[in-house]
Amino acid sequence: MSHGERKGRLNVVKFLELGFAVACLVLHFYSFNDRDIMTSFLATGTFTGYIIVVIGVFAGVLMRAPIHKRIDIFFSVMGCALFVASGVFIIEAWEFSFRTRTRDLALIKASLSIVNGVLFGFDAIFTFRDK
């Protein structure tokens, strides 16, 4: 795989990660509930923090100053752990609630969060395997 193919693939993956993080944050705004404050803090911090991190990675690529491979793997592994943990805690917080629009949005948010965590995991694996 050439360097250009690697950069193109990574940009697509990073763009998907950013899109899922923004979607999670928007859904979090519409399904925010103070029932479990620790879950709210974890989810808000994860969604907002990783929007900032991925935009920073894009800015580095645009300025032709990409981040080091080890730092990218670190951010990807932490993103995987945080997004999956947020999704699991959100599901746990809303699992036995009455079926409402807010609950449905929260469960969609949790599902997208877990999918984004898996995407971060694949990003970490693919970044590690690249030479």
What pLDDT, in 10s, does the model give residues 100-111? 999 999 999 999
Does the pLDDT at position 33 exceed 60?
yes
Q: Show me where the domains of the chain are located.
A: 3-130
Six-digit token pair at 74?
């670190």
3-state helix, strand, coil in the chain (%, to 5): 85, 0, 15
83: burial class by Cβ within 10 Å (0-12, 13-18, 19+)?
buried
- The phi, psi pair for 31, rounded to 5°, reads -125, 25
- Tokens 């943990």: give the residue: 85
Span 55-77, mean pLDDT? 90
